[in-house]
Every structure is written in structure tokens, then in C-alpha cells.
């Protein structure tokens, strides 16, 4: 497969979509990003990386961090007997990523680890396991991406905290059901920091390599059991793009996880991990040009999990 040629064609196809979405403004610091950006990268399972456009420019990973926090919790506790799946489900929510409505009816157990409530539970667990969830995340991402310069964006973390009433409400509500192990202020602070990490398409495609390698890191060491990597990919497919997960599976046919920074990672198990970035979002919080690019990538290559 000539990845570089495919990426060039995908980028040309996606360009007209670049200005169609809206840059997230509910976290004011995210609005500083130019809406014109577009980048895409592929890291194959052998460690070769290809990219086009703004693929080496760091952006706010936001909810893409939720894949990595879940992986880190599973790696630290080898999930079979860990209680994380008693505290968070694995069903699509069909509601927006920051919705409160299901939590009361479902006794403070979030539907899945990729909506905000579920990610707060995972961060809480990581805090218990490591004593410093966000720093563990940063070190983990530096190691998996091979980029020692990855950093938090303090302005984004501060902005998110300042406008974090919704996430605080979710966390307090879950705490009232006994579904948090650590104090709410500490859980939401670590969650905001992990969302504020800046990474490029290159960094994210490389860091997500273990999902395409059935749990193996780039150096061949094992991060996750194959069945754990399979489970993360399965939950990405069904829940990774929120209330658009059905539409995404229909159009793209790959496990994927989006973030309101405009990034989306997608996995082709046994072949490669992709990351695309363009900040304009649709109404459900997914990058418009990013989704168009992944759609075109699977159309051109014929690769999907189906």
C-alpha cells in the first residue's frame, strides 16, 4: 500500500469540508485554533509513519485522551478482575458526550468510558492506581508516542476548569451514588489536565499503535493482552464518536475516538493506526473534515473491520 499517495488523495478529498464545521467554543481556549487546519497521519504496525498537511502540529487531544486513560487503567490492573467494569458500562449512550440524563436512572453508572461521566470514573480509578493520574497519562503518552516533548496546555486546562460546571455536576452526581473513590475536585482537575495534553496527528497515530498490534508496543513488549486491546477497539467502534457512533460505523467502519479539539484516531487492527485533525466540528462534536477523510480512506483502501 502506498500510504503517502493514499493520504494525498484523502487530503484533497477532505479539503472542501475543512471550513464546514464550527470550532469548539464552550472551552474558550480551544477557540484560538485556526479553523483552516487539516492534517492526517498513518502509523503502520511496523513503525513506519506517513503524513500530509498539518500532521506534525500539536493540538488539544481532549476526549481522545479517554482511550489512553482506559488503556492505562487496564494495563495497570489487567481488567479481568478489576472493578472498572462494575463502575462503568460498555453500551452506546445515544446521548451527547456531556449529558446527565441517564446517570440518575442508571444509579450513577455511566453508559461507557468515552462519554465524560465514564471518563471521569476511569480517571478516578487511575488516580487510585497511580496517585497522580494526569502525570501518569503524560508519561505514558510520551513513551508510546516516542515524543519526550509532549506537554499539558495550561491555558486549556485553566479554561476548562473555569467553564467546568457540567463536568463538576457529573462528578458530584456520581459521587452521590458512591461511584468515585477520590474527592471530586481532584478527579475533575486530573481529567481537565489529561484533556489539555497537546499532541500532533503523528504523535497520536504512533501512540495508538498498540491498538493495531493487538496490545503490543512498538518495541514488541506487551502493554495489554490481545483481548483487552480488542475490547478497547470494540468500545471505540460502538461509543467512540458519541451519539454519532452508528453513523460513523456506517460511513467509516473502524474503531475511532474523537475529541472536541478536532482530532479523531481510528484503528485498523493488524495494519495501522490513523489520526486526522481539523478543528471544525459537527453538532455532535466530531470533526467534519476528519470524518470525511476517514470515510474516503476506507473507501479508497477497502479496509474496514467488516
Q: Would you please indicate which residues are annotated as catalytic (active-site) residues?
A: 63, 66, 191, 242, 260
The answer for 286, left when phi > 0, alpha when psi is -120 to 50, beta otherwise, is beta
- Over 39-69, what HEC string results? EEEEEECCCCEEEEECCCCCEECHHHHHHHH
Q: Which CB, 98 or 186, lies closer to ligand DON?
A: 98
Distances from the Cα of 44 to the Cα of 40, 241, 268, angstroms: 13, 23, 9
Q: Which CB, 215 or 285, lies closer to ligand DON?
A: 285
Coil, strand or helix: which one is 195?
A: helix
Does residue 63 touch ligand DON according to CB under 6 A? yes
Q: Which residues contact 227 (CB under 8 A, 6 or more apart)?
A: none
CB 239 within 8 A of CB 115: yes
Query: Of 35-43, 102-110, 129-137, 257-265, which part binds ligand DON (CB under 6 A)?
Result: 257-265
Query: Of 78-86, 124-132, 182-190, 258-266, which part binds ligand DON (CB under 6 A)?
Result: 258-266
Q: Which residue is nearest to ligand DON (CB)?
A: 63
39 class by beta-carbon count within 10 Å (0-12 exposed, 13-18 middle, 19+ buried) = buried
Q: Which CB, 38 or 97, lies closer to ligand DON?
A: 97
Query: Contacting ligand DON (CB under 6 A), which of 38, 50, 68, 97?
Result: 97
Does residue 160 touch ligand DON according to CB under 6 A? yes
CB 201 within 8 A of CB 265: no
DSSP H helical segments within 114-153, as ranges? 116-130, 133-145
Q: Which CB, 7 or 119, lies closer to ligand DON?
A: 119
CB 260 within 8 A of CB 285: yes
Query: Of 1-9, 129-137, 145-153, 252-260, which part binds ligand DON (CB under 6 A)?
Result: 252-260
By CB under 6 A, the residues from 262 to 301 that bind ligand DON are 285
> Directed axis angle between helix 184-196 and helix 133-145, to 10°?
20
Distances from the Cα of 81 to the Cα of 19, 85, 107, 231, 274, angstroms: 46, 9, 22, 15, 31
Query: Contacting ligand DON (CB under 6 A), which of 52, 137, 138, 195?
Result: 195
Closest separation between CB of residue 160 and ligand DON, Å?
6
Mask: binding to ligand DON, 102-131, rule CB under 6 A, as x and -?
Answer: --------------x---------------
Q: Which CB, 160 or 203, lies closer to ligand DON?
A: 160
Query: Of 146-154, 182-190, 253-261, 293-301, which part binds ligand DON (CB under 6 A)?
Result: 253-261
Q: Which residues contact 46 (CB under 8 A, 6 or more apart)?
A: none
Mask: binding to ligand DON, 204-243, rule CB under 6 A, as x and -?
Answer: ----------------------------------------
Q: Which CB, 108 or 259, lies closer to ligand DON?
A: 259
**Which stretches of the chain bind ligand DON, using CB under 6 A?**
62-63, 97-98, 116, 160, 167, 195, 258-260, 285
Amino acid at each position: 500500500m502506498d500510504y503517502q499517495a493514499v493520504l494525498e488523495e484523502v487530503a484533497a478529498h477532505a479539503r472542501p469540508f475543512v471550513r464546514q464545521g464550527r470550532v469548539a467554543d464552550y472551552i474558550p481556549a480551544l477557540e484560538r485554533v485556526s479553523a483552516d487546519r487539516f492534517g492526517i497521519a498513518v502509523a503502520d504496525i511496523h513503525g513506519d509513519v506517513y503524513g500530509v498537511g498539518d500532521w506534525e502540529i500539536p493540538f488539544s487531544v481532549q476526549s481522545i485522551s479517554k482511550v489512553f486513560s482506559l488503556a492505562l487503567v487496564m494495563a495497570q490492573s489487567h481488567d479481568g478482575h478489576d472493578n472498572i467494569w462494575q463502575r462503568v458500562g460498555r453500551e452506546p449512550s445515544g446521548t451527547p458526550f456531556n449529558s446527565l440524563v441517564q446517570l440518575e436512572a442508571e444509579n450513577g453508572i455511566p453508559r461507557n468510558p468515552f462519554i465524560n461521566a465514564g471518563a471521569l470514573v476511569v480517571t478516578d480509578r487511575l488516580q487510585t492506581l497511580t496517585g497522580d493520574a494526569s502525570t501518569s497519562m503524560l508519561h505514558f503518552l510520551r513513551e508510546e508516542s516516542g515524543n519526550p516533548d509532549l506537554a499539558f496546555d495550561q491555558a486549556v486546562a485553566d479554561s476548562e476548569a473555569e467553564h467546568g460546571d457540567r463536568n463538576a455536576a457529573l462528578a458530584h452526581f456520581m459521587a452521590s451514588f458512591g461511584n468515585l473513590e477520590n474527592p471530586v475536585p481532584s478527579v475533575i482537575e486530573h481529567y481537565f489536565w489529561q484533556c489539555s495534553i497537546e499532541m500532533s496527528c503523528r504523535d497520536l497515530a504512533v501512540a495508538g499503535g498498540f491498538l493495531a498490534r493487538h496490545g503490543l508496543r512498538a518495541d514488541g513488549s506487551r502493554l495489554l493482552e490481545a483481548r483487552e486491546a480488542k475490547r478497547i477497539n470494540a468500545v471505540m467502534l460502538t461509543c467512540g464518536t458519541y451519539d454519532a457512533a452508528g453513523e460513523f460505523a456506517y460511513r467509516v467502519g473502524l474503531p475511532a475516538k474523537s475529541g472536541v479539539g478536532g482530532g479523531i484516531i481510528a484503528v485498523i487492527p493488524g495494519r495501522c493506526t490513523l489520526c486526522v485533525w481539523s478543528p471544525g466540528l459537527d453538532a455532535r462534536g466530531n470533526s467534519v473534515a476528519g470524518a470525511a477523510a476517514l470515510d474516503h480512506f476506507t473507501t479508497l483502501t477497502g479496509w474496514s473491520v467488516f
